Amino acid sequence: MNNKEFLGALSTQLNISNKEAERLVETLTDCLATSVDEETSVSIQGFGNFEVKKKLERVAVNPSTKKRYLVPPKLVLNFKPSPLLKDKAQ
Amino acid sequence: MDKKILLPDLADMLADKAGITKKSAESFVRAFFATIEDNLLSDRYVKVKDFGTFKVVTVGERESVNVATGERIQISSHAKVSFTAEGTLRDLVNQPFAHFSNIDLEEGVTLPADEEQPEPEPAEEPETVTEQTEQTCEPEPIAEPEPTVEPEPIAEPEPAIEPEPAAEPTKAPVVEPTAEPAVEPAPMETQAPSITPEPAATPATPTIVIQHEEAPINWWKVVCLGLIVLLLMTASYFVGYYHMLCPCTEHSQLPAVIKVEKPIPAVKPAAKPEAKSADAPVAKPAEKPVEKPAEKPIEKPAEKPAINPANYAQLPGGAYEIIGTKEVHELQTGETLRTLALKHYGNARMSDYIVVHNQIANPDVIALGAKIKIPELRKKAE
C-alpha cells in the first residue's frame, strides 16, 4: 500500500478530506520526530514502540572502488512491534 | 529510555500543532496506527510519505544454539515487522548529528585515535608569569623550610619603611621559583633551602648575583633564565601595575622601589597556605602584592585585634575571609565588579568577595551608581 492509498483509507475512515488527512499526517510525523530522542520513546499500545538508537561511526568500503569512508555517527528511529502485532503478523 | 510518550500525549501535541480538538486528534492518531496495522496485515507493506515504510518480512528458518545448554535448536520460519524511517522523520530524528558527513579516508590512514586536546597549562603559564612576579612563589612554599615563614606575619603589620633585610629573604625565593615553571620541579627543592637562609643584606639584584656564583654549573642556565623572566616580570609590574598602587601611595611616604620589594614579604606567608588549598592558585598570589602594601601600614595594625570575620558574609571555600569594609565605591560607567576587584586586589577573580560582601543577587546586572562595599580581606588561618 502506497502513500496515496493510505491517505485515502485514512480519510474515508475519519470522514475528512485527503488534503486534511495529509496535513495531519505531516503534523503527526513532526510531533513524533520532535518528541523522541535518545532518552524518550513513543509507545503506541497494541502497535509498538518507536525509539531512537544511536549508531556509532564506522568505516565503510565502497566495494567497487575499494575506497574507504568514515561514516559519521547517526541517530536512527527504530520500531519495535508489540507482541500483539507480532502475533497478528504471523 | 527513561521517558515514555504514550498515544494520548502524542494526540495532545498534535492537537496543539494542527489546531484541532484533542478529541479529534486522538481519534486521528488511533485511526492512523489502526490503518497502518490493518493494511500491514493485509498488504504486508505500508508506505507513508515522509514517515516511513512498514513491512512484514518473512524470516526463513534457521539453526541456532541454545546459549545456556549448547544444544542446537531450530528456529522456525516466522514473520517480522520491519520499519524504516524516511524523509522528514528520519532527518528530524538525526538532527543532532545532521552536520556530520562522510569523510573519505586516504590510503594508509590509521583509524582515528581521538585527538588529544592540548592541555590548557602551557597556554596559561605565560599569562601567569607576566601577571605578577609573586605568582611564582606558589610552587616554592612546599620546599621552603618552615622557619622563614614564621617571622613574616610579625613583620607584616610593621610600617612600610623597613630596612632591606626584611625584604631580603623573600626576594631570594622569588627568584628561584621563576625558573621552576620553565624547568623541572626538582631543582627547586635543592635550591630553595640553600638560598633562603642566605643573609645577604643588599637589595634584590645583588642577591641574585650571589646566587649565580653559588649555584652549581648545571644550574647556571636555569638561574639565568629565571633572572630574565624575573626582570621581564618586574618590568611588566612597573609598566602595567604601578598605576594601581598610586591611589594608595599617598599614605606611605615610601619611594616606589621599596614598595615593590615590600609586597613580597606579605605574599610569602599568604602564598604558602595557598599552595595547600587547591582553590585557584593562579588567582590568589596575584592579589597580594597590590593589596598588602596599600592597607598594611594604615589599617592592619589597628584592626587586627578587633576584627571578627563572623560578622560578615564569607565566601565559602575562599582562601580569604572578609573582615570589614575597606571603602565604599560608587559604580561608574564602564566599571564592573571585575575591574573593581582588579583595582583593589590586583585580580579580577576576587570579584567574588565583593559579590558576597554586598550580597549581590545577580552580579551580571548592577545599577549604575550603586554603592559597592569593597571588603577588607584577610588570609584565612589554616
d(CA B233, CA B250) in angstroms, rounded, equals 25
Q: What is the mean pLDDT of chain A?
A: 84
- C-alpha atoms less than 13 angstroms from C-alpha of B138 in its C-beta half-sphere: 24
CA distances (Å), B330 to each of A85, B40, B250, B327, in order?
73, 75, 21, 10
At A64-76, the pLDDT tens digits run: 888 888 888 888 8
Q: What are the start-end ranges of the H helices in chain A?
A: 3-14, 18-35, 83-89
At residue B210, what is the residue type?
I
Question: Nearest Cβ partner of B39 from A1, A30, A57?
Answer: A1
At residue B231, what is the residue type?
L
Q: What is the pLDDT of residue B280?
A: 41
Q: What is the pLDDT of residue B216?
A: 56
Place A26 in a pLDDT band, splitting at 50, 70 and 90. Answer: confident
Instruction: Look at chain A and count its residues.
Output: 90
Residue of B nearest to A6 (CA): B48
Q: What is the pLDDT of residue B279?
A: 44
Cα diameter, chain B: 102
Q: Which residues on A lie below 8 Å from B13 (Cβ)?
A: 31, 34-35
d(CA A65, CA A61) in angstroms, rounded, equals 8
Q: What is the pLDDT of residue B90?
A: 82
At residue B93, what is the residue type?
V
Residue with cell 541456532: B64
Q: What is the pLDDT of residue B135?
A: 40
Query: Is the pLDDT at A62 greater than 80, yes or no?
Result: yes
Q: What is the pLDDT of residue A69?
A: 82
Q: What is the pLDDT of residue B241?
A: 62
* Phi, psi of B129, rounded to the nearest 5 degrees: -65, -45
Angle at B21 between CA B18 and CA B23, to 5 degrees: 120
- Suggest the residue from B2, B4, B5 to mutate for an interface test with chain A (most A CBs closer than 10 A): B5
Helix (H, G, I), strand (E, B) or coil at A53: strand
CB contact under 8 A, A6 and B48: yes
Measured in angstroms, the CA of B139 and the nearest CA of chain A are apart by 44
Measured in angstroms, the CA of A30 and the nearest CA of chain B are apart by 7
* Phi, psi of A78, rounded to the nearest 5 degrees: -110, 145
Q: Which residues on A lie below 8 Å from B89 (Cβ)?
A: 29, 32-33, 77
CB contact under 8 A, B29 and A13: no
The answer to whether residues B144 and B175 touch, using CB atoms and an 8 Å cutoff, is no
Strands B3-6, A40-44: pairing kind: parallel
Low-confidence ranges of chain B (pLDDT < 70): 1, 107-217, 241-310, 381-382
Would you state the cell numbers that stand for residue A15, as one nine-digit string? 470522514
Instruction: Write the secondary structure of B320-363 as one string of H (helix), E (strand) and C (coil).
Output: EEEEEEEEEEECCCCCCHHHHHHHHHCCHHHHHHHHHHHCCCCC
CB contact under 8 A, A72 and B48: no
Beta bridge partners of B23: none
Q: What is the pLDDT of residue B243?
A: 57
